[in-house]
Chains A and B, each alone.
Chain A
Amino acid sequence: MHVEHHQTDILILGTGGAGLFAALHAKQANPDLNVTLAVKGLLGKCGCTRMVQGGYNVALAAGDSIERHFMDSIEGGKWLPRQDLAWRLVTGAVERIRELENEVGCFFDRNPDGTLHQKAFAGQTFDRTVHKGDLTGIEIINRLMEQVLALDVDKLEEHRAIELVPAADGSGLAGVLLIDMRTGVYRFVQARAVLLATGGGPTMYRYHTPSGDKSCDGLAMALRLGLALRDMEMVQFHPTGLLGGPDTRMTGTVLEEGLRGAGGYLLNGAQERFMANYDPKGERATRDIVSRAIYAEMRAGRTTPMGGIYISMGHLGRDKVAKSFPGMVKRCADCGFDLAGGLVEVVPTAHYLMGGVEFEVDCSTAIPGLFAAGEDCGGVHGANRLGGNGVANSTVFGGIAGDSMAAFIAAGAPLRDPDKSVIDAGIARAERPFALKPGDLHGLRDRLSDTMWDDVGILRDATGLARGTEKLADHRAELAETGLSGSSRAFNLTWHDWLNLDSLLTASEVITASAQAREDSRGAHFREDFPETGNLDSTRYTRVRGDGAGRLTIDTVPVDFSIVRPGETILKDAATAAQ
């Protein structure tokens, strides 16, 4: 099979907040560096940073502090975050938001006195979420994209990475094998430093929010390379995804949390409110509690015609709802639903992977030459991510990765010769479906999403997880026998659906194994057979590795409370008050 070869100093996989910031910082550190951006869609237009509605958490206002933001993140993460990473997030956010506004050009919303507006967001003790209306991600990505388009960088758009290729001598990473999706040609890009910033995205669940291009490719490649993934059982579900049936891509997309906050009702299939049966805060309870309550109603059969529940806003007044949530009302109307006055069917929907590649504060990984940032990484958020900490994570660590890669190259990072057997194996994996008889690929994708939803979803137990493990093995075997019709490789989305499924199966296996290993409940992970959180002081995180032959090894590692221990705080006020 013909492979085109390229060379660059820095190769960045992904052009969300992490990838674009890395490019900017690397070129700022050394404008002479040759930087190549490879992305599965168009630059800045795929991935999830762009989809951010809420905003960006940062401690700026008088009375707030980075210590307070840190404690909110640690407590929200149920003491599972790696504390030095969480600390770097909250401190880095202050510089990064100024950089976004002052240098990149984001034009965030203001208070009447002209200062930056910061809004309240769930799970935080201070109003610290910077935003641009309810479309903050568009502003951040459009401005970043403009800055990067004006740079002298190489763009490989609609290029899909399929293998991280180590050096033949085992000394580090040599480069990345990609498919040029437009032509179907294989391309090996040799680089002194590579950034993994493809984003996670739990799109293996029946209902999910992330962009359609997301399929956990980065996690699957990292696992094959031998890197450890941590906290992978932690899958965040958003309580209210739009439900439009199985045949529409609008199903699963988010209806924002503010609808419940403003007084929206959740009704079961009998059109009765039910949240008070689960939590005294009713509809205003936190994401995880509301998601579990909705799931319990659905499991009990109290569902709407399409199998979800209703969100109802009409009692607040049609005009008021239309004025307060214009974006949500229009989005629903475009899809045929009346949010302002009628009932809209919703379901909990898989939103974010807190887990990912183990990485260091400088974004390096265990493999020299490979760096990682954003949702591909684990450890920043622990068991739960606060709304508004996601885009902070990708932009803060993306910038750090750019700095680190430039420094790594300045210190003499070599171009390494690739292990050709890994390139051959990557091509063989990608070519496999062309040699097989066509099968029911889309049915298989549905079966995978049913398995993950039913057995590895919002409420878990040992029986379900064991059943899920067996079914995943069946799905894996089925994919290995499912081919494609025709032989065209140019812009063949069905080929990429096959490759997406391969990556999603790998990530699903890791999520399931991690969920089996965690015999307690905290944050996004709930075991009905182990409903208690247990002793926080002995908190351990899960860590999964692959053996290269498809088998996983899992261990649990004590969390190092390097800054603060459970039950304690670093807030001076709170400490004083407690004395």
Chain B
Amino acid sequence: MSDTVQTPTAEPGGSGIKTLEVQIWRGGAEGAFETFSVPRRDNQTVLDVVTEVQRHHVPDLAYRFACRVGVCGSCAMTVNGTPRWTCRTHVGKVAGDGKLSIAPLRNLPVIRDLVTDMGEFFDKWTKAGGKFTGTRSRAEPMAEVDPTSRARRNADAGIECINCAVCYSACDVVSWDKDYLGPAALNRAWTLLNDSRHAAQNETLAAATAHGGCGSCHTQGSCMRACPVGISPTRSIAGIKRMSLLDFLGMRRS
């Protein structure tokens, strides 16, 4: 996701595109694309394009956003066929030819237009063992954790997930296996398995390796390529598989 942003004048052909041809999904699971003409501006994200369509073309266009800066993970959509966070996707990065198609995330039920029901995504987050269980109370001091330890570095590598479901939408396994917990939930489980304070290690490992867990991953890496914040769930899932094997062999390091 490190493509450079192009200003309008720098777009292929140097044509200085003035207008975007924008196709937006209308309806639910059954629906169709509608086409709109939207002015191209220098500073313009895909979310801004959607907003422009709501304000000037379709007042009841359904879409979801909150923070505007890539921390809430509410505004992900399928942009020209690829799942992306729309608030931080510059139009110049994805619409070099002046065309945009914007659809809801795949692999989640569509509520209407660009909005999906994220319920199953969060249900699977919980099902994958994604909840911390501590041993200390609020009356006790905090645990000392070596910031350079291998486990802590593993946890740090995956912890800043914003649960936007872009990886869940990018994953082909999710699309054909509805039991599969998906990349984000397993990535969270991996950060817990590397958290020396987490008491429910066995429970989380069991949940992450049960039916629909890490064994279902085909290591295609779509999640890793799609993640807007640079996390590699593929690596995390591989870590769970390795840990599970070592656990089976009685060789897991505590």
Tell me the A residues contacting B by CB distance below 8 Å: 41-43, 45-47, 50-51, 95-96, 98-99, 101-105, 107-116, 132-133, 135, 137-139, 142-143, 146-147, 149-150, 182, 211-213, 244-245, 247-251, 253-254, 331, 333-336, 438, 442, 484-486, 488, 490-495
A497 to B: closest C-beta gap in Å:
9
C-beta contact mask, B69-106 vs A, less than 8 Å → 1, else 0? Answer: 11111100000000000011110100000000000000
B13 within 8 Å of A (CB atoms): no
Which of B29-37, B111-119, B169-177, B211-219 has 4 or more CB atoms under 8 Å from chain A?
A: B111-119
Query: Chain A residues with Cβ under 8 A from B111's Cβ?
Result: 182, 491
Interface footprint category on B: 35 or more
Are the C-beta atoms of A146 and B126 separated by less than 8 Å? yes
- State in angstroms the CA–CA spacing of A495 and B54 once bound together: 11
Which of B17-25, B41-49, B245-253 has 4 or more CB atoms under 8 Å from chain A?
A: B41-49
Can you list 28 pairs linking A and B with CB atoms under 8 Å apart? A42-B74, A45-B72, A95-B138, A99-B138, A102-B134, A102-B136, A103-B138, A108-B142, A111-B147, A113-B144, A114-B147, A138-B162, A143-B132, A146-B125, A146-B131, A147-B132, A149-B126, A213-B66, A244-B43, A245-B43, A247-B44, A248-B48, A249-B51, A254-B69, A334-B5, A336-B5, A486-B60, A493-B63
- State in angstroms the CA–CA spacing of A133 and B147 once bound together: 12
Query: Chain A residues with Cβ under 8 A from B73's Cβ?
Result: 45
Query: Chain A residues with Cβ under 8 A from B142's Cβ?
Result: 98, 101-102, 108, 115-116
Query: Chain A residues with Cβ under 8 A from B43's Cβ?
Result: 244-245, 247-248, 250-251, 335-336
A44 to B: closest C-beta gap in Å:
8
Query: Chain B residues with Cβ under 8 A from A116's Cβ?
Result: 142
Query: Chain B residues with Cβ under 8 A from A107's Cβ?
Result: 145, 155, 159, 191, 195, 197
- State in angstroms the CA–CA spacing of A47 and B74 once bound together: 11
With a 10 A CB-CB cut-off, give which of B44, B67, B125, B145 has the most chain A CB atoms.
B67
From known contacts A212-B67, A213-B66, infer whether A335 and B45 are also in contact, taking CB-CB under 8 Å: yes
Tell me the B residues contacting A by CB distance below 8 Å: 4-5, 7, 41-45, 47-48, 51-52, 54-55, 59-74, 87-90, 92, 111-113, 115, 118, 122, 125-126, 130-134, 136-148, 152, 155, 159-163, 188, 191-192, 195, 197-198
Nearest opposing residue in chain A for B142, CB measure: A101
Are the C-beta atoms of B132 and A249 separated by less than 8 Å? no
- State in angstroms the CA–CA spacing of A95 and B4 once bound together: 45
A484 to B: closest C-beta gap in Å:
6
Query: Chain A residues with Cβ under 8 A from B136's Cβ?
Result: 98, 102-103
Query: Chain B residues with Cβ under 8 A from A484's Cβ?
Result: 59
Query: Chain A residues with Cβ under 8 A from B137's Cβ?
Result: 98, 102-103
Say what secondary structure dominates the interface of chain A: loop
B89 to A: closest C-beta gap in Å:
7
Q: Count A-B pairs with CB separation below 8 Å.
A: 203
Sample of 9 further A-B pairs with CB below 8 A, known A98-B139, A111-B147: A41-B64, A42-B74, A50-B71, A135-B160, A147-B131, A245-B41, A336-B7, A484-B59, A490-B62
Tell which of A96, A244, A336 touches B92, judged by Cβ atoms closer than 8 Å: A336
Tell which of B60, B66, B198 touches A46, judged by Cβ atoms closer than 8 Å: B66
Nearest opposing residue in chain A for B191, CB measure: A107
From known contacts A248-B48, A336-B42, infer whether A51 and B54 are also in contact, taking CB-CB under 8 Å: no
B72 to A: closest C-beta gap in Å:
5
Are the C-beta atoms of A114 and B145 separated by less than 8 Å? yes
Query: Chain B residues with Cβ under 8 A from A442's Cβ?
Result: 55
Are the C-beta atoms of A50 and B72 separated by less than 8 Å? yes
With a 10 A CB-CB cut-off, give which of A46, A107, A488 has the most chain B CB atoms.
A107
Are the C-beta atoms of B5 and A212 separated by less than 8 Å? no
Are the C-beta atoms of B66 and A45 separated by less than 8 Å? yes
From known contacts A45-B66, A143-B132, infer whether A211 and B113 are also in contact, taking CB-CB under 8 Å: no
- State in angstroms the CA–CA spacing of A295 and B113 once bound together: 41
- State in angstroms the CA–CA spacing of A132 and B160 once bound together: 9
